[in-house]
Amino acid sequence: MLNGIVVVNKPRGVTSSDCVYKLRKILHIRKIGHAGTLDPEVNGVLPIAVGQATKLIELMHEKPKSYIGSGMFGRATDSYDLDGKTTAEEEIVTPFTSNEIIVGMKELTGKLEQVPPIYSAVRVNGKRLYEYAREHIPVERPKRKVNVYSYELTQDPEYDPLEKTESFNFAIRCSKGTYVRSLVNDLGEKLGVPAVMTSLTRTSSSGFDISQAVDLETIEAEIDSPEKWLQPIDSFFVDLPKIKLSPDQFKRVSNGAGIDLNTNYAKVALVYNGYIKAIYQRKGKIYCPETMLLKNE
């Protein structure tokens, strides 16, 4: 049985659930799930856990995500991207300088309260926001706390004198739950003009980056060589200190018991026979289980 993480390079035009469904059929495996939905028109890194790695999905969500994309000043939509209906247009007569855009981006970094787009999968009273939008039912969108670690302009903006719009490219590193579309819309509000996201690619998620991503066609063609496209479970914990267990300690860990370790780390990966068997966290003077990963099938 396969156990590990497949870093899928999701193409535009398909949903994250489509990718999971197709990979399930390719691998003939039921125990599978993705960590972090990508909108259909967003491409890039989609980590999919298979087998024992599905136990990691909640932990995978906790790691930062990175994106590159582009936006445009001069138009806004109800979805904050090009799929939505235009809600505002304004000719950009005097284009913004790089410095003006950078200042606006810096004001949108750090810990923020963000309102998700109306066309999003956030649930309110058991119903997704996009369902309210499609039925033209007004609803109060809940604010959520997010952390934007960096929001950067990646090259000088480009002004279109015929259309009187201005395009810009950006890179963002943020916490789970952050809507990049909203950050583009909010940047326009900071600068006093309509703005819309025009493209987006996720370049890293769950500790994996685009250089490790593979498309589904490659996986299907190389199905007999999983070492080429399957990231081992241990690779997810590369940043954690590793503690080798004695046979007696492993017996205790196998039963989910707390153990005393001669270390002061807040969280550790416990290794036996060359494999990570569990993630333990410190509670007082002993370490207790956080995530159990005992099988190596």
DSSP the chain: ---EEEEEEEPTTS-HHHHHHHHHHHHT-S-EEESS---TT-EEEEEEEEGGGGGGHHHHHHS-EEEEEEEEETEEETTSBTTS-EEEE---SSPPPHHHHHHHHHTT-EEEEEPPPSSS--EETTEEHHHHHHTT---PPPPEEEEEEEEEE-S--EEETTTTEEEEEEEEEE-TT--HHHHHHHHHHHHTS-EEEEEEEEEEETTEEGGG-B-HHHHHHTTT-GGGTEE-GGGGGTTSPEEEPPHHHHHHHHTT--B--S---SEEEEEETTEEEEEEEEETTEEEEEEE-----
Respond yes or no: is residue 39 known to be catalytic: yes
- Kindly name the residue from 18, 39, 156, 215 that is annotated as catalytic: 39
Q: Point out the residues that are catalytic.
A: 39
